[in-house]
Structure 1
Amino acid sequence: MPIVNHLINLHNNGNKIKKIYITAINLNFVVNSYKVLDKLIIYMIKDFNNYSKERGLNINLSLTYFSDLNNTKGYSDYDLTLSLLGKKHHKYDMFLYDMNYLKIYAPYLLELENYLPKKCIDLYSSENNNKLTVYNEHRLGLYYERYNIKIPKTWDELIETSNYVLNNERIKYNNTELVGYNGLFPNNENTVCSLYQILYSYRETKDSPLPEFTSQAGVDALNKLLEIKNKISSYKIFSIDEVYLLEQMYSDNILFVNFYSSLQIDTYITSPLPGKKEGINGSILGGYNIGINKNISEKRQKASIKVMEYFFSKNFQKDIVVKKFHFYSPIVEIYNDKNVCSVIDCKIIKESQFFIRPSSTMKNYNNFSKKVIKNMLNYLEGKKSIEEVLTNIDDINRIYYFTVKSIPGFIMFSLLLILFITVILSTSLLFLQKYCILFRFFSLDLWFMYTMGSVLMILSNVFYFEETTVIKCFFRQILKEFGNALIFIPILYKLLKILSHFRKKFKWIQKYKFRFILSLLSIHILFSILIIIFDTYKVKTINDMNDKNSIVCQYNKIPGIIVFLLQIAYNILLYVIVCILIFQEWNLKIIPMDLKPFTFTMIIDGINHIISSVFYIININNYIVNTIVHIYINFLYIFINHIYIFIIRVLLTKKKFPNENNRSWEDKLVKNVLLSSETSSNVKNTITFFDSDSDASIIIDDLK
């Protein structure tokens, strides 16, 4: 690191000269700003070095300046500074940066409250803390004196006054160059500031918050902006850059100018911006913060703190920043000082109603800014309607949810509700005598378990509605997979029990039915607990240029993802085992009455799982389409596994024997199944029923 050597001569006893070399810390101060601050920054560095020399601090401050003169990307570019900080660069110690990017720089800067003296911090502990430069003040000048006009307090007064002056200038002086107002909507961050200031000026009261972009106040504000442009200005003037604007100001070609309060021009005076009504206005606070690189050594951090203490001192702010350079300071109390108010207009600070751009609260303010600029320029040029622009701007950060209040959401919720009611009511068929023969494959407890699986699957879909949260992600996954298990496990238990070559091997299953089922379910319970413990899910915001922003569930940590995959694999294993056992049953030519429908459902389930896996891999940014697809897949799964087994199967069977009742109907049904199950002459035609009470298999001979 560079150092500065000072040679100090000390006389010892008047005879000998002792030479002592003292090393001073050389701090590198990086600035990326407007050239309007050049003189102040250079003076600050020079003034501190003089102060350091006088006080013997042994600190020398060097300046590295990236201004708009040597930075082709413009004042709003922060990439260079960020790259220096992000790479944990030790070359630069202190940074002066636009306060708009505080959130971006904060992780790389020293936390000053832990280092600066409390009395220094207290000077800035007001509501205006960190608001370093007042931005977008309104100005009047030459024509104010010529026509003795009143300073406009409302936007309507601005139009009226401008029209009066412009008409007189054209008639009396043939002045066709003069325009009423500049708007300040160039192709940079100033457009965002100008949009916020006019929107803020359309509040109902001083204490009212910023109106929503899509509110009536937002519509009125942009309509008024367009009226101002059309009546007293033009798109060309509204969209000119700052350099050309300054030329027009120095040429007195603009009557009212929206620009920085730090700029002092003799022919202009400053006033608060107008508003919708008198007493309401809006100004944007902007400025620069000074930060210290947290990656430098402790010795250099302490030296940098000394520099900060000097720059943040009340005397420096009052004497240098305000009195000498006529900038505004964030120290509120100095605006009660008569000496300060004799240099700058303290009334402006007290009357202006400030708004801070949401750069520190938005996740991606840079993206928001670019889209706002594009939309506003299109609006002012007449390429987009006011409704389209306001909706587009509002959509940049608005998160959309699949809600019951929307038409697609209401339809899907209604279908799920109907499905839920149907599933619950269909269980009554288990208690109707004439349908008992169709439900002897399971005992009642297994049918209830099977039904509960369908219910949990339906409930998992409820968590697709409204705001997506991490908790909803957990419950959606857990209920879905647990529901799957409750559907597969009863089938697996029954198949293991009825297959003759499995009976001997799994006799304990018949004896300990519930232990077997609970052991399988306990694995799912364990997986579900681990998914929560390992913080498997997080939510991610999908920002899409063409679609609405939405939040989706995303996998988070690797251990949790592994548990999630194991849970999926576990259900797949249950499914595969069930399919193998069904195949074994068919191969033995013993055809239980309820087994054919379950064979069909297993085939459809397999297809359904494949489709579901495909859509989990495919990224669908449209939140409506994405949600409907996943709900529909689950809906189809429940429909096949429950509605088909409980209702459609009964209706089809009943249709086949429309005129039969009770036992005669059952006998006809048995005969029909026997006829359909005939095979070769070597195989006896049989049909297998299962007693729902004892689970004993009953083989009924051919009744043909």
Structure 2
Amino acid sequence: MRVLNGDALFVKLYYIPGLLNDESPYRLSPMPGIKKGISGTILVGYNIGIINNINERKIEPAIEVIKYITSRKIQKELALKEIIISGITSLYEEDDVCSKIKYCELYKYPQTIIRPPNVFDSDNYYEKYTNYFFEFLYKNETAQNALKKMEDLTKFYNISLDSNETYLGIIMNISSTCFFILILSSISLMYMKKFKNDFYFLPNSFWYILIFGIEMILTTSFTKVGPITVVKCHLNCLLLTLSYSFIYVPLLYKLIITFPDNNKYSIWDIFVYEGENFKVCNNENNYQV
């Protein structure tokens, strides 16, 4: 390891108590953050528990063992020997402990985060990360491109209204708003004498319903702006479902009131001798009884 032979300038690793002795040229320090005073230390450790199928006679002894291992007294003894970094951080507030432990201040005020499972469980994450770094070191890759590739391993992009990131969100938002206003203003055409005959196909109230459905489809574009959430996903499905209903109901109404009609392609009226007449569709001009 480079941390042991002194060949590295900076080393990032999981620290084990006692790894750096007094002769080591390295000093342990928090990971630098995006701002001064902010750091990020990944918290890992071992889980201690009792299995489900344990013999009943062993349950109480097992509980006592766990109590013993996690007791303040034992944790203090192990911390003083620098065998562990105790999860009981208040131990490092005690003078008799902190005065005997190297890097006590780091243990006392760690800014810990849980290891991100969606990133570090990936088998090829570390490989890709180091490859991008080596491309910068040895293959003349620019720092900007290398950092962008590293960031893309964990970053989720979305349509943003922030012009510093992209203008796509602003353009999409303005376009959707303009179309929304344009379609809504088309209602006024129904009351213009010049276009009144063009709207006889449906009653005015149904034109309102149809236009309302179209407007609802346009509003689904706003659910795509910003981070995708469960609420936005459900809202998008709800708007689409209702909008198609509003659009097709007026058209279905028109089909119902105009259908059926007698024509050369179908015969509808069937008269039953001394019975009850009924109508049925027959595309071959033959009665169906």
Q: TM-score, normalised by structure 2?
A: 0.68
| Displacement after TM superposition at 1:423 (Å) | 0.9
| Displacement after TM superposition at 1:466 (Å) | 1.8
2:76 and 2:91 in contact (8 A); partners too:
no
1:304 aligns with 2:62: yes
Cα deviations across residues 445-479 of structure 1 (Å, max 9, x unaligned)? 12222222212221223222222222222222222
Q: Which secondary structure does the structure 2 equivalent of 1:491 belong to?
A: helix
Q: Which secondary structure does the structure 1 equivalent of 2:153 belong to?
A: helix
Cα deviations across residues 203-235 of structure 1 (Å, max 9, x unaligned)? xxxxxxxxxxxxxxxxxxxxxxxxxxxxxxxxx
> CA RMSD, aligned part only?
3.8
Residue type of the alignment partner of 1:184: V
1:273 and 1:283 in contact (8 A); partners too:
no
Q: Which secondary structure does the structure 2 equivalent of 1:463 belong to?
A: helix
Distance 1:286 1:493 in 2: 63
Structure-to-structure mapping, 1:279-358, within 5 angstroms: 284=41, 288-297=45-54, 299=56, 300-319=58-77, 321-323=78-80, 325-330=81-86, 331=88, 332-333=90-91, 336-338=94-96, 340=97, 344-345=100-101, 348-350=103-105, 354-358=110-114
Q: 2:29 aligns with which of 260, 270, 273?
A: 273
Please identify which structure carries the higher strand content: 1
1:413 aligns with 2:144: no
Q: Which secondary structure does the structure 1 equivalent of 2:159 belong to?
A: coil
Distance 1:281 1:443 in 2: 65
1:392 corresponds to:
149
2:17 and 2:82 in contact (8 A); partners too:
no
Residue type of the alignment partner of 1:317: Q
1:363 aligns with 2:131: no
Distance 2:209 2:37 in 1: 65
Q: Which secondary structure does the structure 2 equivalent of 1:292 belong to?
A: coil
Q: TM-score, normalised by structure 1?
A: 0.31
1:486 corresponds to:
246
Distance 2:30 2:244 in 1: 64
Distance 2:20 2:92 in 1: 20
Residue type of the alignment partner of 2:205: D
Alpha-carbon spacing, 1:471–1:306, altered in 2? closer, same or farther (3 Å): same
| Displacement after TM superposition at 1:328 (Å) | 4.5
Alpha-carbon spacing, 1:380–1:296, altered in 2? closer, same or farther (3 Å): farther
**What is the percent sequence identity of the aligned residues?**
18
Distance 1:398 1:350 in 2: 32
Distance 1:454 1:414 in 2: 17
Structure-to-structure mapping, 1:205-604, within 5 angstroms: 260-263=16-19, 265=21, 267-268=23-24, 271-273=27-29, 284=41, 288-297=45-54, 299=56, 300-319=58-77, 321-323=78-80, 325-330=81-86, 331=88, 332-333=90-91, 336-338=94-96, 340=97, 344-345=100-101, 348-350=103-105, 354-359=110-115, 361-367=116-122, 369-381=126-138, 383-405=140-162, 406-499=166-259, 501=261
Distance 1:501 1:284 in 2: 77
| Displacement after TM superposition at 1:397 (Å) | 2.6
Distance 1:341 1:454 in 2: 69
Alpha-carbon spacing, 1:440–1:297, altered in 2? closer, same or farther (3 Å): same
Cα deviations across residues 77-97 of structure 1 (Å, max 9, x unaligned)? xxxxxxxxxxxxxxxxxxxxx
Structure-to-structure mapping, 1:36-185, within 5 angstroms: 181-184=8-11
Distance 2:131 2:70 in 1: 38
Structure-to-structure mapping, 1:585-624, within 5 angstroms: none
1:261 and 1:270 in contact (8 A); partners too:
no
Cα deviations across residues 501-535 of structure 1 (Å, max 9, x unaligned)? 38xx9xxxxxxxxxxxxxxxxxxxxxxxxxxxxxx
Structure 2's unaligned 5+ residue stretches are 263-267, 269-280, 284-289
| Displacement after TM superposition at 1:430 (Å) | 0.8
Residue type of the alignment partner of 1:389: A
Distance 2:52 2:21 in 1: 42
Cα deviations across residues 107-153 of structure 1 (Å, max 9, x unaligned)? xxxxxxxxxxxxxxxxxxxxxxxxxxxxxxx99xxxxxxxxxxxxxx
1:111 corresponds to:
none
2:30 and 2:41 in contact (8 A); partners too:
no
Distance 1:334 1:419 in 2: 63
| Displacement after TM superposition at 1:431 (Å) | 0.8
Q: Decide which structure has the larger Cα Rg and report it.
A: 1
| Displacement after TM superposition at 1:490 (Å) | 1.6
| Displacement after TM superposition at 1:310 (Å) | 2.1
Distance 1:309 1:418 in 2: 67
Count of aligned residue pairs for this structure pair: 251
1:430 and 1:439 in contact (8 A); partners too:
yes
| Displacement after TM superposition at 1:264 (Å) | 5.8
Alpha-carbon spacing, 1:383–1:304, altered in 2? closer, same or farther (3 Å): farther
| Displacement after TM superposition at 1:421 (Å) | 1.5
Residue type of the alignment partner of 2:173: F
Residue type of the alignment partner of 2:242: F
Deviates more, 1:326-335 or 1:424-433: 326-335
Distance 2:6 2:27 in 1: 19
Alpha-carbon spacing, 1:488–1:273, altered in 2? closer, same or farther (3 Å): closer
Alpha-carbon spacing, 1:263–1:498, altered in 2? closer, same or farther (3 Å): closer
Please identify which structure carries the higher helix content: 1
Distance 1:376 1:387 in 2: 11
| Displacement after TM superposition at 1:438 (Å) | 1.8
Q: Which secondary structure does the structure 2 equivalent of 1:468 belong to?
A: coil
